[in-house]
Structure 1
Amino acid sequence: MKLSASIAALLAIASFSAVKAAPAVGVSTVPVDKTHTFTLTSNPSFKPNATRAILKARGKYARFSNDPTTFATGTIPMVDYEGDVEYYGTVQVGTPPQSLKLDFDTGSADLWFASTLCTSCGSGQTKYNSAKSSTYVSSTKTWSISYGDGSSASGTVGYDTVNLGGLSITNQGIELAKKESSSFQSDPVDGLLGLAFDSIITASGVKTPMDNLISQGLISQPIFGVYLGKSSTTNVGEYVFGGYNAAHVGGTLTTVPVDKSDGFWSISVSGLTAGSSSLGSFSGIVDTGTTLLILTNTVAAKVAKAYGATDNYDGTYTIKCDTSSFSPLVFTINGAKFSVPASDLVFEQDGSTCIAGFGYADMDFAILGDVFIKNNYVVFNQAVPQLQIAPVK
């Protein structure tokens, strides 16, 4: 799944899966020219590794209402090999367009990808070629990103047209990789698209894609809706820029204040329970780029005790594979309750051994990664800022 991280500016976590969504029926829409659904595609061969996910998240965070809806524009078949491990979406860059598979990460702000300038990029990656784009503009800026697991990437900054599912952003700052470490070389994606706030972007003076969608008037509302499918249910997912898809909202959307002082979508969780056990409160970052639910050490230990999980002393827990006797893990956020079902408390299984979907990373805050997000629809509002959250339908 996911969990990638950047020390320098906190880049995107290591695993997404994209999924393309089926057309929603009977849903009202904001004007077509002001909102767009961006479909995702899954990675069929990525194998989960909870320990690596914890390490990446630790590195990544080392330094510390209107009712718009939209139709999904199409369906793309997906195979979620190993189950809900990695999501990516296809983005077009340049003129004529070059298609790149990118992780969409609300835990980082950079837009970077492999390029033909790269001397160490993976042979399976698609490499953007600036020489083939008539709209490319070069610059003298450079960028460099380091990750908590020792991985890194660096290169040069340019500007080009970036198309997000039909929304054409002009003069978008893009970061062209000239070097990648081995973990990126073997990754099925070509790069990363950050959706956090621009205060943590590593390329100084560059606007994020969401900033440009807003400033260029390409969307009616400064929001994007996220639905991550999972293999046990719909097996599809989507990002909607400028609106959200009410067809995937399974209850009332609760408005949640966001603290963006550190550049992240940080919220307060006032309570966490498992059955009758109260497990504490904490602040947490809502991060589509992190696979697991990463808790503070104290809260993680309480959750583990509630489910009879044992500490592996690397940030992960071993848990019973049979979750039939487990209660869901319930979060209280701004007065509303949101659940992670018992079945999603297991992240990976190797024979008779199972690794939990929650862990810890020696941080004072939590990361509400895909284990949480795939069970709850989230609307990100950059302007306020705030989130709206509801159980998925």
Structure 2
Amino acid sequence: MQSSPKLALALTLVLIWCLAQSHVESRRWRKSVQLKLHRETNHTKILSSFHNQKLRLKEKLSPTSDLAISSVSVYQTTVSKENLINSHNTEYYVTAGFGTPKSQPVTLLVDTASANLLVYSSEFVKQSCLHHDGYNSSESQTYQANGSPFQIQFASQEILTGILSTDTFTLGDLVIKNQTFAEINSAPTDMCKRSNFDGIIGLGFSEIALNGVETPLDNILEQGLIDEPIFSLYVNRNASDASNGGVLLLGGSDPTLYSGCLTYVPVSKVGFWQITVGQVEIGSKKLCSNCQAIFDMGTSLIIVPCPALKIINKKLGIKETDRKDGVYIIDCKKVSHLPKIVFNIGWKDFTLNPSDYIFNYSGTCVSGFSSLSDCNGTQTNDDSEDLNNIWVFGDVFFGAIFTLFDFGLKLVGMAPKV
């Protein structure tokens, strides 16, 4: 009983710290900038996109860094706030622009598992991608020719090619000068036809930037456009609020978007936003212990190893015959009776309810879990053991958890969304 006063004092200090942090943040986030959001309504297009996302993910996982890191603390200051476009809870975009004096508007997929800035060229759009916007270097006064070739080969063996260019890049009220990016002049057909984005903004570490190009985050920080090397993501999956996909906050966080205090964990490998997860459970069944997970907002689902997926599917009553286009269909009537899934990260439990991990597309319900491998064992294209063991936290996870990324101290902070 003698320890009770000490425990009460400790809890009081924690509460005071949380309130102080929230007060500081609530003053700073009001300086943010907000952009308009939209939502995709073509369900057939959405369901077809999952397979292509897996191919992109396999390509991204191939250059995993072997460097290790640890960190201890974090703080936030001035914030730029960019609204996200929600493509029916499967892909999230921001609006941006290239060139001067008139910024050429484009829509960019937010991707935390890559580090480059890519945009379709206007010539490619005219020839192959008529419903998209593209960048025309001849219309910009600040364009700087580079010409170095840029190439990405996907797991499907399809290739995205382009050249590097440098120009002014506008993101909300932030005007980033001398940003080098890939001007895409050839891309897989499905990437263009089955997506709404005109390019990709990678928010990963510079260690995974192709061609050694300076990342948008590094450039924003070096030019003094934000005070702290931090960005945060709040993803809105409220189907009744189609215009609001959430927000990307550059330079800090917003305590009105999450409950309690942020729980911080160190990045376990620099390159991707990769952390160690203490444990994952569904019901009373353990799915992993001390497993590695990568945050990838460019992927819709939570990607898990085959052993974990088999357990999840069994708990959800899903059979292999329920698989379609790489995802698993489930009876919508069963959703309310499905179990919770609990992630223990940094000694704190983060819970996903069935409504968090099941997509409902006008009566077609899709599980938010899948694998990069063919879990029947008939065929796998995985050349790396990492592909079979690592977890990938896609938009399903972001939809339930507010997430802060500190690329200075190499930390990830998490708290339940409000």
TM over 0.5: same fold?
Answer: yes
Alpha-carbon distance in 2 for matches of 1:72, 1:209: 14
* Conserved 8 A contact 2:52-2:190: no
* Conserved 8 A contact 1:38-1:239: no
Change over 3 Å in CA distance of 1:113–1:295 after alignment to 2? same
Following TM superposition, by how much is the alpha carbon of 1:238 offset from its aligned partner in structure 2, in angstroms?
A: 0.7
Residue of structure 2 aligned with 1:333, choices 325, 345, 348 = 345
Give 1:10-25 correspondences, 5 Å limit: none
Match of 2:18 in 1: none
Alpha-carbon distance in 1 for matches of 2:403, 2:111: 13
Alpha-carbon distance in 2 for matches of 1:289, 1:302: 25
Instruction: Determine whether 1:383 maps to 2:408.
Output: yes
Instruction: Determine whether 1:57 maps to 2:57.
Output: yes
Give 1:1-393 correspondences, 5 Å limit: 27-29=26-28, 32=31, 40-45=37-42, 46-49=45-48, 50-63=50-63, 65-68=73-76, 83-95=88-100, 96-118=102-124, 120-186=127-193, 187-202=195-210, 204-232=211-239, 235=242, 236=244, 237-261=246-270, 263-281=271-289, 282-312=291-321, 316-321=327-332, 322-347=334-359, 354-362=365-373, 363=387, 364-393=389-418
Alpha-carbon distance in 2 for matches of 1:383, 1:214: 10
**AA in 2 matched with 1:142:** P
Change over 3 Å in CA distance of 1:320–1:63 after alignment to 2? farther
Q: Could you list the per-position Cα deviations for residues 71-129 of structure 1 after superposition, in whole angstroms to 9, with x for gaps in the alignment?
A: 886879x7x66x31221110111102111100010011111111124274400111111
* Conserved 8 A contact 1:251-1:392: no
**AA in 1 matched with 2:411:** Q
Match of 1:10 in 2: none
Q: Could you list the per-position Cα deviations for residues 237-260 of structure 1 after superposition, in whole angstroms to 9, with x for gaps in the alignment?
A: 010101112211122200011123
| Structure number with bigger Rg | 2
* Conserved 8 A contact 1:151-1:183: no
Alpha-carbon distance in 2 for matches of 1:164, 1:251: 30
Alpha-carbon distance in 1 for matches of 2:139, 2:328: 48
Alpha-carbon distance in 1 for matches of 2:158, 2:348: 39
> Which secondary structure state, in structure 1, belongs to the residue aligned with residue 221 of structure 2?
helix
Unpaired stretches in structure 2, ≥5 consecutive residues: 1-24, 65-72, 374-386
Unpaired stretches in structure 1, ≥5 consecutive residues: 1-25
> Which secondary structure state, in structure 1, belongs to the residue aligned with residue 314 of structure 2?
helix
Change over 3 Å in CA distance of 1:120–1:367 after alignment to 2? farther
Q: Could you list the per-position Cα deviations for residues 130-179 of structure 1 after superposition, in whole angstroms to 9, with x for gaps in the alignment?
A: 11111110013110112224443211111111111111111000111111
Alpha-carbon distance in 2 for matches of 1:75, 1:241: 11
RMSD of aligned residue pairs (Cα, Å): 2.7
Change over 3 Å in CA distance of 1:348–1:145 after alignment to 2? farther
Change over 3 Å in CA distance of 1:38–1:221 after alignment to 2? farther
Alpha-carbon distance in 2 for matches of 1:346, 1:205: 38
Change over 3 Å in CA distance of 1:246–1:294 after alignment to 2? same
Alpha-carbon distance in 2 for matches of 1:310, 1:198: 41
More helix by share: 2
Identical-pair percentage: 30
Alpha-carbon distance in 2 for matches of 1:150, 1:390: 39
Alpha-carbon distance in 2 for matches of 1:230, 1:87: 10
Deviates more, 1:355-364 or 1:339-348: 339-348
**AA in 2 matched with 1:112:** L
